Structure formats: C-alpha cells, structure tokens
Amino acid sequence: MSSTRLTEGWRSSSSRLLGLYCLLFIAWSSVLLGVVYWRVSNYLDDMSESALLQRAHLFHRFQGDVLDDALNDSLRYDIHGTYAYGMFTAQGKHLAGPLMAFPAGVRADQPSREIPGWLLAGGERREAGRALAVSTQDQRVLVLVRQSGKLSGVNSIILDALLWGISLTVIPGLAGWYFLRRRPLKRIQQIEGVTNRIIAGDLGQRLPVSDRRDEIDRLSSIVNAMLERIEQLMTEVKGVCDNIAHDLRTPLTRLRAHLYRTRVELGDSPHTVQMDKALAETDLLMARFSALLRVSELESGQRRSAFEDVDVAALLGELHEFYLPLAEEKRQALVLEIESGVHTLRGDRELLFEALANLLSNAIRFTPEAGRILLRAVDDDGVPRIDVMDTGPGIAEQDRELVFQRFFQGQDEAGRAEGFGLGLSIVAAIAGLHGFRLRASGAEGGGAWLSLRCAPETL
C-alpha cells in the first residue's frame, strides 16, 4: 500500500469513527480502573490504620512493666515483622523498644500518618509505613508502626492486573478497528473506480449497491437515480444536436451543388463574386456540421478498438514534415525536439495525429510572421508528454479551461474571432477517449502552451 493510500485510509470517516470509539472506550476504561485502584488503595490504608488503632486500644489497658511485656510478646508473635514499637518520653527521648527514633511529623494522640521509613535497633532501616503515637497511663508515649510494604505489594498486584486488563482490552479493540474499517474502505474504492469511469465519459456506469441497504447503499441508489436522469438528458441533448447536424448535411450538400451549378452557368457574370462568397459560406457550414459529428463520434468512445503502441518520434516527425511548408510560408520557425527516453505510447495513431495536427494548425494560425513554434516530446515521470508552444498572443488565463468547450472562440490580437470553436473540442474529445490529460497554459515570454500528458489519468 502506498503512503497516499495509507493516509487516505486513516482519514476515512469509518477510521475516525472507530478510532473515536476506541479512544472513548480507553478513556472510560482508564477512569473506571483508576476509580477501582483508588478505592482499593483507600481500603488498604483504612485497614492499616484500623490495625494500629486496635493495637493502641489493646495496649492502653496496660502500664509499666506489664505494658512492656505485652509489647514484647506481640513482637514475638509477629513472624512477618510487620509491626514495631518504641517507648519515648514526652520530649521524644527513647526509652524502650526496637523503634529507636520518634517519627517526624507524628504527634501523640493524633491520627496516624504515613512515614517514609524508620530506624530499628542495630541500625536496620525499614521501608515506608504508617505510625500512630498514643500517651500511656504512666505519662510515656507509645509509638506503634505498621510496615506498608505488604499493602504496597497488594497495590502493585492490583495495578498490574488493571494495566493488563486495559492492554488486553485495547489490543483487540485496535485490531478490530483496523479490520472493521477495511470493508467500508474497499467499498469506497469500488465507488471511486466507477466514478472515475463516469468522469471519463461512460455515463452508463452505476455505483455498486449491496444487499445490506446501509447508508452507503442508500447514497449510491440516490446517485444512480441521478445518473439515470443525467444520462437521459445528455442523450436527448446530444441526440438533438447530432440529428440536426446529420439532417442538415444532405440539404446543405444539395444547396452547394445548386450554387456550384449556378456559378458555372453564370460564367463571367458580375454576380460570380457573390456566388463564390455563398459557396465559401456553405463550405464553412458543412465543415462545422462535420466537426460536430466528429466530436460526437469521439465522445461516444467507439474507436478504442484501434489502440496500439505508437512510436512517438515517428508520429511527431511526420507532423513536423507535414506542417513545415505551411510554417515556412509565414516565415515561422517550426522546431521539433524529442527527449531521449520517450519511445512509445498506447493509443489510436490516426486520432492522435488528428489531435496534434489541430494543435499545430492553431499555433501556426495565431503565431505572427517570424514567430517560433516548438513541437516537443518529453519524459514526465516516466510518461510521454507532448507540448506545442508558440510565440503568439497566447490564451487568456480566464479562458484556459473554456477553450476545450464546444463553440468557444478565442480572440486573435485584433480581437476578431477565429474559426468556429470546435477544433480544440475535437482535441479534448480525443484526449478524453484515451484518458489523457490536455492542459492549456502560458509559455515563457508569452504565447500559448498546450500539453498532452499521454497516460490515463486517475483521481
């Protein structure tokens, strides 16, 4: 998969929807598990404080040596070493017990507090715990400490379990996200392929509709109904134009024949000049209708069966040889350039010759005397591109998308319309038949630059 295709996949609505759901699920799971961890931690802290309070209440009944004996007995039964005690004066001086220093921040007869650690007899230092100080009946201060390492271990176990639970939930969710978004993307790619063929001119194509009848199918059905109507209207409009052009050819041919016979019969009559003008106008009308039928034929896509490998150098060489005398009559320089690496393209040779001939004839017509016309073939990212550049007045920027439409007429330097607006329409129809990209722009230093990129274009 290319990087472009991968980027499009991540930007799709299905990926975003599934990704948003996955993020919300992760966020909610994290909050839920965080609350569970917080509640368990508080419960364990409460257990630790309750244990210290129970011991404090138990030892508060004793005093003097009896209290010391009870404390020592409790240590002997504490096989895990969870608890420790220390007996101190009211001023904090150590009197008895393994706890050697009064914990900082701990006050007598106040709630228990977390301490970072404590020092035992023999220099042994224990990890964090919870300490509680209570006053005895004989005016001493008893400090009880409970090690929190065991509880911390329980917290760690719970935290690990929660993290594993999130991981085992997120990983299948991400995998499901990846695989679930592939089906909608595949359908979109199918729709894209059909749409490209419709854009290329095949209005008979329809978007695929599955049996699921989901929102994509409903949208495809609406678009298909719209395409049905568009195809019907286009066929009707095209049929009217084609029928008019076809039906008028016969009477125009008869009219020209009558005019020609009348012109011959008049001989050297003064009216022959008017008859010659009438014949010229009739020829112009017939050429216009022939061009209309030609565009219609090309847009119908009936010539694809003649596609073959075309030698670009031979095709351009033939065009150059054919139009060189016409350019020399106007003292124009017609230059041919073929870049190395440009060999063949796939298409109908006769149609490509016709299209490029139209471009060259336009360039010769609009380029002034002593001007320069360049016909060249270059390699455009591994694809042949044919350029026709001239030093004429060029094409106005606002007209560069319009010049390929039927009956659009450009203006020469004097502001007078040239032709009847179907030459470039024929070129555009031939380019569309091949799937090539035809582009009009301005050449350096003025003039027109028309390029034909000879590779099927995709969106």
Question: Residue ranges of the domains in the chain?
Answer: 1-180, 215-299, 305-453
Which residues have CB under 8 Å from 47's CB, separation 6+? Answer: 151
Helix (H) or strand (E) holding 386: strand 383-390
- Please report the pLDDT score of residue 269 as a whole number: 76
Q: Which tens digits make up the pLDDT trace of 270-284?
A: 778 888 888 888 887
Q: Which tens digits make up the pLDDT trace of 368-426?
A: 998 999 999 998 888 899 999 999 888 888 888 878 877 666 554 434 445 556 678 88
Residue 295, pLDDT above cutoff 90: no
Question: Who has greater pLDDT, 81 or 315?
Answer: 315
Question: Who has greater pLDDT, 322 or 171?
Answer: 322
Give the residue from 154, 201, 138 showing the smallest Cα distance to 43: 154
- Please report the pLDDT score of residue 417 as a whole number: 46
- Please report the pLDDT score of residue 329 as a whole number: 92
Phi and psi angles of residue 164, each rounded to the nearest 5 degrees, phi first? -65, -40
Q: Which tens digits make up the pLDDT trace of 228-269?
A: 888 888 777 766 666 666 677 778 788 888 888 887 887 777
**In the chain, what is the straight-line distance between the N-terminal and C-terminal CA atoms, in Å?**
17
Mean pLDDT of 20-44: 79
Band the pLDDT of 6: cuts 50, 70, 90: very low
Residue in the structure block whose two tokens are 């060259």: 360
- Hey, what CATH topology would domain 215-299 get? Helix Hairpins (1.10.287)
- Hey, what CATH topology would domain 1-180 get? Beta-Lactamase (3.30.450)
Q: Which residues pair with 85 in a beta bridge?
A: 144
**3-class SS at 415?**
coil
- Hey, what CATH topology would domain 305-453 get? Heat Shock Protein 90 (3.30.565)
- Please report the pLDDT score of residue 81 as a whole number: 66
Residue 118, pLDDT above cutoff 50: yes
- Please report the pLDDT score of residue 324 as a whole number: 93
Mean pLDDT of 155-175: 75
Mean pLDDT of the chain: 78
Band the pLDDT of 1: cuts 50, 70, 90: very low
Give the residue from 434, 436, 395 showing the smallest Cα distance to 303: 434
Cβ distance 392 to 368 under 8 Å? Answer: yes
Mean pLDDT of 201-216: 81
Which residues have CB under 8 Å from 453's CB, separation 6+? Answer: 380, 383, 385, 436, 437, 439
